[in-house]
Chain A
Amino acid sequence: MPIRVLSPLLVNQIAAGEVVERPASVVKELVENAVDAGAGRIEVSIENGGLDLIQVADDGTGIRADELALAVASHATSKIADPGDLEAISTMGFRGEALASIASVSRLRLLSRPHDVPEGAQIEVEGGTLRPVRPASAAPGTTVLVRTLFFNTPARRKFLRSARAEAGRVSEVVEAIAMAHPAVGFRLEVDGRATIDLPAGQDRRARVVEILGRGLEPELLEIGDETGGEVLAMWGLVGLPRIAKATSKHVRLFLNGRFVTDRTVLHALRESYRGLVEPHRSPVAALFLRVDPHDVDVNVHPAKSEVRFRNPSMIHGLVHRTVLRRLRQADLVPELDLARMGGATPDPKLGGASLGAPSQRSEGHAGPSWTWSGSSAARGPTAPASWSGFDLDAAREVMAGSAPTGPASAEALPTIRFAPEVMQVQRRYLVTQDEHGIVVIDQHALHERVMFERLRERIERGPLESQRLLVPATAEVDAGASEAIDALEPLLMRLGIEATPLGPRTVAVHAFPSLLFERGVEPAPFVQELLTRAADEGLPHEPEAALAEVLDMMACKAAIKSGDRLSESELAELLALRETVERATNCPHGRPTSLRLTVRDLDRQFGRS
């Protein structure tokens, strides 16, 4: 085939492949255009997942009749004019190829009327072929109708999912853009049914909460760092660890008002939650970053969904620091849900100990009928670990077991905080009290968490202290696992483990962390398990993540086990450690170490309130 210049249609179709992947990408381009046009309200409707129809209507500035043809031509835009503008992009769109690309793979109708013009005009494009501009009656603003998307590119059509799945993606796109523009009203109709309806003029917090779900509000922590001013600032809402989701879809990141995905920020966020949520889960978050446009390149990907920071570590630091600080302030001890303790609910109305937030089942932890609810979160942001909100009278009653009336002695109170009495239940749980009520602690999970934090702190200062063995301990491993040793060497060195292959299925351990020895962990079985895990499941590529995973394994092995009897001094020591370690509320796997039964809930259950 001779070389020839591609036809404009083909060029646009190829470009469309980059920008217009699926109905949701069409919606994204059109809605962003509407936002850039200064719309106060944007209405989107789709039919059959957007394949039959996508309509986006706005009340923005509108396009004059004589510019309509230009609007659907490629690389035509009103948003930038000279190369200097690329350095500091402030509008959502700028490439000037979206409409042309969409028009090349659909039947598109563009209908518009500027506010100062009495009559509107429209242009139709079918598979890239322009029809003449005609006058049309229209409300002020612009409406774009996209019909039979991908009618001329059947291959693309084949790759689409079900109408419902595509509609779901459209919905995510509209939500994301709506979050970034709380002042603009949004409405999405799917096959004639409104699924999103957001009023104009909301503030950012209200908008985010409304999109995440109002029931979730008590579970959200507000974060902010404005110290960088115009150049670098951040605001957002992050969810408590217990509402973490199975996918990172619920992390929404906005950079200068644009919805983007960025691995740097996602990583920083996950780092902040490390140890608080289970590794395969992802926190809920809406983060709004303001970065000097000169410090970020948004022109990396045609869909503008990826960005490149000039100084990624600064961004990483800001996000990590800000989120971490906020989480540390929060009271993360989940509450026991008395309402589900079975049988004991005297009145269903009173039984609502939880605030109706979605609660997670934790059968294995707290017995068959206990769950933990999110109601402590409501207090978390305002009064973490303080005396405020503490019902003194109720506490006295509970402590003294006395009648509701009659003043209890005030001297009894300080003991709540400073000399917690503790009871070991079934050699597994510790029961004590704090200023909010009764705290139930999983002894293994708490000690594991304590060990983990101490190991992490220690390893930052250098490799773990390593004790050499008189005679190498030999571990039997699967073929392949012994080869993994070479790759793992830098990691093993930091951990204070010295191991060499002795044969295809045998590994010799020459040195092992003294700390693990002290805790009765034997070298051979540990190294065997470590190598097997590395060979079977693979450790994370990133060295810090791999390290954390192995430290976690160490902490688990070294920790007090469920079933260990603890002496009084050991109990006291463990509780004291709880105070010293950050995030003592969750074990390194993210499971809770403690649950709280508040005096308030007890009051409710006993019919006092």
Chain B
Amino acid sequence: MKVVCDRAAVLDALGMASSVVSGRTPSPILHCVKLVASDGRLSIAATDSEIAVRIGVAQVDVQDDGDALVPADKLVQIVRASEDATLTLHAQKQALHIKGADSHFKVLGFDPKEYPPIKDFPESKADCIVNAAQFRRLVTRSLFATAVENSRYAINGVLFERSGRKLRLVATDGRRLAVARGECDSAADGDTRCIIPTKALNILNRLIDDPDASVKVSVDSHQVRFLIGDADDAAMLTSNLVEGSFPPFEDVIPKDQDKRVTIDASELTSAVRRAALLTNQESKGVRLAFGDHRLVLSSRAPEMGEAEIQVEMPEYQGEPIEIGFNPSFIVDALKVIDGGPVMIELKAPNKPGVLKVGQDFTYVVMPVSLA
């Protein structure tokens, strides 16, 4: 294998690929990225045995087809530290030579045949095709509500649900639930339902850089595959699915909220953020008092002090209500809806609150008790 490549483009692809590589695995093979030069392009592949990516780099001049398997961290460091516009990657036996204007690195690697095979995207079995910007928005609007990775009992994934051309991504950590809705550009007949690991979706969001590209999705019984773009620099992501069933979330979305108001998202964000300044680890909750044409947010941390923020809210409908929320839960949701009006729906201090942006986004958040 011999390839002259654009350093920035390779660095970009390598950075993404190496984020899949897990530092924890004892297998030296899995610490590597696999480079393949063929058909006039270079592809860089990496896997942690749960998730695999293959990223195409088009800005290359392939002089000899071939492949190489080298440690990801060293290759990234070398390419990043270089100042050349182009680098030559030359595989000889099991070593990769990286040559710049004034440099020559020889990195010892392994036999590429030992690397686990990564299947191509099954074009014929594509489930649906979604606009990349749309897909990224769906992921962003659901992913944040998943539980942090290290909690052992929660579902570390997002429900992907397609019914005809309608698409729904749902995530929860047991205290809140986010439902993002969208539509496919085209779709196969029937329905699809699976749980995609959060790590895979995080990587997927990074792989989308052209908002006008399309994302093709293919789901089988235990894996999901994404193909982002379709040119020489297309990227493919394969991930195992999360096993188990998603909680029955439809029942959790309340239908009988009797207090509602529409408020500007950025105004509410600012108010909640400021009220949260005087909370602490033991008392996180912010009190939201709705009524009398305004919203009063207040917080109290005994050894620090108290905060009170007022927001004018002429259109509030319903009885006055005081309810406590973890401020991060509110801010997290407001962050992903890109400003604009948001509808708040409430029922009682010990019942869920709902944030809605049209039909596209529904967010259910459970309250905290107030001292």
Residues of A within 8 A of B (CB): 454-455, 458, 461-471, 473, 496, 511, 514-515, 517-518, 520, 522-525
Contact = CB atoms under 8 A, between A and B. Distances in A.
Contacts of B281: 454, 515, 518
Given A463-B371, A471-B248, A514-B326, 7 more contacts: A465-B324, A467-B366, A514-B284, A514-B285, A517-B175, A520-B150, A523-B174
B98 interface: no
14 contacts: A458-B282, A464-B282, A465-B370, A468-B175, A468-B350, A468-B366, A470-B172, A470-B364, A473-B174, A496-B369, A514-B368, A518-B284, A520-B152, A522-B151
B181 to A, nearest CB: 19
B148 A515 contact: no
Contacts of B367: 468
Contacts of A454: 281-282
Contact of B154 (A458, A467, A522): A522
Nearest to B248: A471
Nearest to B283: A465
Nearest to A466: B369
Interface in B306-343: 324, 326
A461 B247 contact: no
A473 B172 CA distance: 13
Pairs A-B, 8 closest by C-beta atoms: A468-B366, A466-B369, A458-B282, A522-B153, A462-B371, A520-B151, A470-B252, A467-B368
B352 interface: yes
B177 interface: yes
A469 B366 contact: yes
B176 interface: yes
Interface string B214-234: 000000000000000000000
Listed residue (A458, A462, A468, A517) with the most chain B CB atoms within 10 angstroms of its CB: A468
Given A454-B282, A524-B153, A511 B369 contact: yes
Contacts of A523: 174
B117 interface: no
B302 interface: yes
A455 B282 contact: yes
A118 B197 CA distance: 103
Contacts of A514: 284-285, 326, 368
Contacts of A458: 282-283
B371 A469 contact: no
B63 to A, nearest CB: 44
A2 B156 CA distance: 85
Nearest to B328: A518
A515 B251 CA distance: 27
A466 B283 CA distance: 9
Interface string B53-73: 000000000000000000000
Is the contact region of chain A dominated by helix, strand, or loop, or is it mixed?
mixed
Contacts of A468: 175, 350, 352, 366-369
B150 A470 contact: no
Interface in B87-138: none
Contacts of A525: 153
A415 B84 CA distance: 44
B284 A465 contact: yes
Nearest to B176: A470
Contacts of A471: 174, 247-248, 251-252
A604 B151 CA distance: 48
Nearest to B251: A471
Nearest to A460: B302
A468 B369 CA distance: 8
A514 B302 CA distance: 17
Contacts of A515: 281-282, 284
Could you say which of A462, A470, A524 has the most chain B C-beta atoms within 10 Å of its C-beta? A470
Contacts of A467: 175, 326, 366, 368
Contacts of A461: 302, 371
Nearest to A521: B151
Most interface-central of B175, B283, B369 (chain A CB within 10 A): B369
A336 to B, nearest CB: 32
Contacts of B283: 458, 465
Nearest to B153: A522
A523 B281 CA distance: 18
Contacts of B251: 471
A520 to B, nearest CB: 5
Contacts of B368: 465-468, 514
B369 A463 contact: yes
Contacts of B153: 522, 524-525
Contacts of A511: 369
Given A465-B282, A517-B175, A520-B150, A470 B352 contact: yes
